Structure 1
Amino acid sequence: MTILTSTTPDTDIFTERESEVRSYSRSWPTVFTSAKGSWLRTEDGRDYLDFFAGAGALNYGHNNPVLKRALIDYLDSDGITHGLDMHTAAKRRFLETFDALVLAPRRLDYKVQFPGPTGTNAVEAALKLARKVTGRESVVNFTNAFHGMTLGSLSVTGNSMKRAGAGIPLVHSTPMPFDNYFDGETPDFHWFERVLDDSGSGINRPAAVIVETVQGEGGVNVARPEWLRALADLCSSRGILLIVDDVQMGCGRTGPFFSFEIAGITPDIVTLSKSIGGYGLPMALTLFKPELDVWSPGEHNGTFRGNNPAFVTATAALEQYWADDRLQVSTAAKGRRIGEIFANLSDSFDGVSTRGRGMVQGLVFDDPGKAVKVCGLAFDEGLLAETSGPSDEVVKLLPPLTITHDELNHGLSILAEATAKVCA
């Protein structure tokens, strides 16, 4: 995300005491005090419509009343708040609900690991497990991928700026072209297949392949279902584990609960975080086929791997939104609405295109500076939207899935006006 040059609010303590690594606060220079649904309010009383949703951690909106009630009731009852990986009633109910509402209807037989509170914890566990199972070191990742900021996750991330922050060489990974990397001029998937089978390619057989079905941070790059199926078949035929990183695109962001459902594949390992906690509470899962559960007790752990309040809100979210298909149908309809507006803008202005799936959509500018300007103008008019892509050339939308149609149209009108001003 490109940092906009803005006047810093009267917040001296932030500039004096908070690290220079802060980023979103530079793009949105205000102090937020409260939030509800799809809106945030600042301490000076201004409301902002949220097309960012905590980078995908708030699929069900801010302070969702159903989830809030469940959390308050749990805390009022002196429920367990910290339990490492001990058995708790809250964990049991989450596992039972996750099995009944998510895994069983999709005929998925996954073991569930609680690796720690964040997405990168889930990815680290997935990479470690894949290497432990196969006895191999290398992992194949894809151009423009983003998988997290710890060293293992960073090694399979494409962004050069983020990789540079590691301070050491990032090894044991091999990048390959993501779907349509060459704009259809070269069958990029077949390059991967060729080097795997060529004894002169210098590529060691990898332990795993890790992929996002939609690359959010990488610029809303969408993998075709047929490409994902071919990738899954290739991994299966060569004894390579397939890891799908669904940290941002899972929990209904693209429509179905899992983003890979559209391709009809069953990954060996799946990572979830962000909105799995339901209420924005930290929580992450690493899912894997039972035969891959070769961990020894305590071999991978973490102090906050058992966030019981998050179990409670996660369970409430599953019961409220995944007992039927209403949210999935609504997400598809809202995604089509965003797509229509973005397609109109693409037709109206040179150097503008669009891509996305469900309620992750991107407006792509040939001139990256225009995307930054559009987000800046949108902020001035009361809308939060971020940029993504290797040059921050994409205006990326991640509204709450629970946003109303009127709110969605209001935000889209702000973006359309901002685009018209920038492209005029």
Structure 2
Amino acid sequence: MDLNIFDRLESEVRGYVRSFPVVFSKAKGSLLFDEEGKQYIDLFAGAGTLNYGHNNDVLKQPLLDYVASDGVVHGLDMATSAKKAFLETFERVILKPRNMQYSMQFTGPTGTNAVEAALKLARKVKQRQNIVSFTHGFHGVSGGSLAMTANSKYRDAAGVSLANTAFIPYDGYFGPDVDTMSYFERMLEDRSSGLDAPAAVIVETVQGEGGVNVATQRWLKELQRLCRRHDMLLIIDDIQVGCGRTGTFFSFEAAGIEPDLITLSKSLSGFGLPMAMVLIKPELDIWKPGEHNGTFRGNNLAFVTAAKALETYWADDRFTQSIAGKATLLRDFLENMVHSHPAAGLSVRGRGLIQGLVSDIPGFSNKVAAQAFKHGVVIETSGANDEVLKFLPALTIEEVQLRQALDVLDRSVAEVVAAQPEQKQANARVIKFGGKAR
């Protein structure tokens, strides 16, 4: 397949095309098709942007109708019928049933725009500069959000100092026996710890890019308690794991916490259209008109599909139940893979329909992803060393397609294991059964 035009004219910064070196021409549901007609099962879903699949007919038709009626496509932050419908629907379907009261701020079109706005507002409210983020966290690659992002691959590209951030160990960073909230609390209480009083804490309940690291409900509750006790705002970054990815619309619902600010993007539009939003506790909404703006703060086409997605999938609990069933299927299959391939040094972590298959063998996960792609499955890796195969299927994926894709992954793992030098396989067995990680 000819990729010469991309190699010749597109910037070296391009990333995913290197992992999936074909030209995709069509997509439907959980299937992608390249220009030669080859079919791929998509377990990537646009990095979590396509929770309802590619070209979902339920969402596509209202979008086509809106365009055909000459509905307003670009309106800055002016009032439009599309925005009105979304505001009404989000309040009725999402906020009121959860007894939540938030103002909605529409930022620039991507997740990092929402994070930038949340950080700026937190500092404005508290009149303090420092923000606490967490090890392995990812919040975007623009200036402020990059300062909150832990991975050196992204930080090293900044070209400037990334300041006004303090990193605290995430849940489980030192293993299951170390309570990182106790460490954080001690740092806050000790005036000689070197930790400047934070304006806010920003956290993902499941770290997607960071390796599918899952925070426990207890840890999240403790984090909220510390925020309240020490006058810090709690920002939940739900950009990748919100909109149903963990089973409920918001990823933090099971923990029973009440964030001060919530950032949403990715699957918020439901159709892959760019859209980002910050939910703000009303008493914190102290913006002056136009104080934080942007040309594309409010995508009317995205409002149309987002409202339809909410009405279709979130008006009752049937969709949540469907996600739970598929999550159980996925988790059980991955746990079986761990036991079926002891030489791979595998383990599983995740929640809902974001699951990670972790290998202790350097480079193993990337080899499996590449092998799976040859067999017609699109899946990405994550983690500090790309050690995690990250499963992000569409929430609407058909079970038969999910099983087919998992069979391919099982086959791919077996093929990569078979190709490993014997000594590496032996080392993996020690890691797996010896009770100690390397």
Q: Does the residue aligned with 1:112 lie in a helix, a strand or coil? A: strand
Out of 169, 173, 176, the residue aligned to residue 168 of structure 2 is: 176
Out of 82, 87, 96, the residue aligned to residue 90 of structure 1 is: 82
Corresponding residue number in structure 1 for 2:381: 387
Q: How many angstroms apart in 2 are the aligned matches of 1:346 and 1:229?
A: 31
Corresponding residue number in structure 2 for 1:104: 96
Corresponding residue number in structure 2 for 1:243: 235
Out of 328, 339, 349, the residue aligned to residue 331 of structure 2 is: 339
How far off its partner does 1:234 sit?
0.8
Q: Quick one: which amino acid aligns to residue 281 of structure 1?
A: L
Corresponding residue number in structure 2 for 1:327: 319
Out of 149, 163, 167, the residue aligned to residue 157 of structure 1 is: 149
Q: How many angstroms apart in 2 are the aligned matches of 1:235 and 1:305?
A: 29
Corresponding residue number in structure 1 for 2:277: 285
How far off its partner does 1:401 sit?
0.3
Corresponding residue number in structure 1 for 2:205: 213
Residue 79 (1) aligns with residue 79 (2): no
How far off its partner does 1:326 sit?
1.3
- Specify every segment of 5 or more residues in structure 1 that has no aligned partner in the other structure, as ranges: 1-8
Q: How many angstroms apart in 2 are the aligned matches of 1:369 and 1:306?
A: 41
Corresponding residue number in structure 2 for 1:16: 8
Corresponding residue number in structure 2 for 1:297: 289
How far off its partner does 1:299 sit?
0.3
Contact kept in structure 2, 1:370 and 1:393, CA below 8 Å: yes
- Specify every segment of 5 or more residues in structure 2 that has no aligned partner in the other structure, as ranges: 419-438
Out of 313, 317, 327, the residue aligned to residue 305 of structure 2 is: 313
Residue 127 (1) aligns with residue 119 (2): yes
Please give the residue correspondences for 1:14-53 in structure 2 after superposition, counting only pairs within 5 Å: 14-53=6-45
Q: Residues 222-270 of structure 1: CA distance to partner in whole angstroms, max 9, x if unpaired?
A: 0001100010111011110000000000000000000000100010000
Q: Does the residue aligned with 2:86 lie in a helix, a strand or coil? A: helix
Q: How many angstroms apart in 2 are the aligned matches of 1:348 and 1:67?
A: 40
Q: Quick one: which amino acid aligns to residue 167 of structure 1?
A: G
Q: How many angstroms apart in 2 are the aligned matches of 1:217 and 1:390?
A: 8
Q: Quick one: which amino acid aligns to residue 389 of structure 2?
A: V
Corresponding residue number in structure 1 for 2:393: 399
Q: Quick one: which amino acid aligns to residue 353 of structure 1?
A: S
Q: How many angstroms apart in 1 are the aligned matches of 2:61 and 2:272?
A: 14
How far off its partner does 1:327 sit?
1.2
Q: Does the residue aligned with 1:101 lie in a helix, a strand or coil? A: helix
How far off its partner does 1:12 sit?
1.6
Q: How many angstroms apart in 2 are the aligned matches of 1:56 and 1:349?
A: 28
Contact kept in structure 2, 1:247 and 1:273, CA below 8 Å: yes
Q: How many angstroms apart in 2 are the aligned matches of 1:117 and 1:29?
A: 27
Q: Quick one: which amino acid aligns to residue 413 of structure 1?
A: D
Contact kept in structure 1, 2:111 and 2:264, CA below 8 Å: yes
Corresponding residue number in structure 1 for 2:359: 365
How far off its partner does 1:423 sit?
2.3
Q: How many angstroms apart in 1 are the aligned matches of 2:360 and 2:333?
A: 18
Q: How many angstroms apart in 2 are the aligned matches of 1:126 and 1:306?
A: 16
Q: Residues 159-186 of structure 1: CA distance to partner in whole angstroms, max 9, x if unpaired?
A: 0010111111100000000000011242
Corresponding residue number in structure 2 for 1:417: 411
Q: How many angstroms apart in 1 are the aligned matches of 2:318 and 2:372?
A: 30
Residue 193 (1) aligns with residue 182 (2): no
TM value normalised by structure 1: 0.97
Q: How many angstroms apart in 1 are the aligned matches of 2:127 and 2:19?
A: 44
CA RMSD of aligned residues (A): 0.7
Q: How many angstroms apart in 2 are the aligned matches of 1:390 and 1:187?
A: 22
TM value normalised by structure 2: 0.94
Q: Does the residue aligned with 1:41 lie in a helix, a strand or coil? A: strand
How far off its partner does 1:127 sit?
0.1
How far off its partner does 1:388 sit?
0.2
How far off its partner does 1:317 sit?
0.5
Q: How many angstroms apart in 2 are the aligned matches of 1:73 and 1:349?
A: 50
Q: Does the residue aligned with 2:27 lie in a helix, a strand or coil? A: strand
Q: How many angstroms apart in 2 are the aligned matches of 1:258 and 1:101?
A: 13
Q: How many angstroms apart in 1 are the aligned matches of 2:40 and 2:176?
A: 39
Corresponding residue number in structure 2 for 1:378: 372
How far off its partner does 1:11 sit?
2.1
Q: How many angstroms apart in 1 are the aligned matches of 2:237 and 2:229?
A: 21
Q: How many angstroms apart in 1 are the aligned matches of 2:217 and 2:47?
A: 24
Corresponding residue number in structure 2 for 1:5: none
Q: How many angstroms apart in 1 are the aligned matches of 2:358 and 2:246?
A: 18
Corresponding residue number in structure 1 for 2:433: none
Q: Does the residue aligned with 2:55 lie in a helix, a strand or coil? A: coil
Q: Does the residue aligned with 1:259 lie in a helix, a strand or coil? A: coil
How far off its partner does 1:120 sit?
0.2
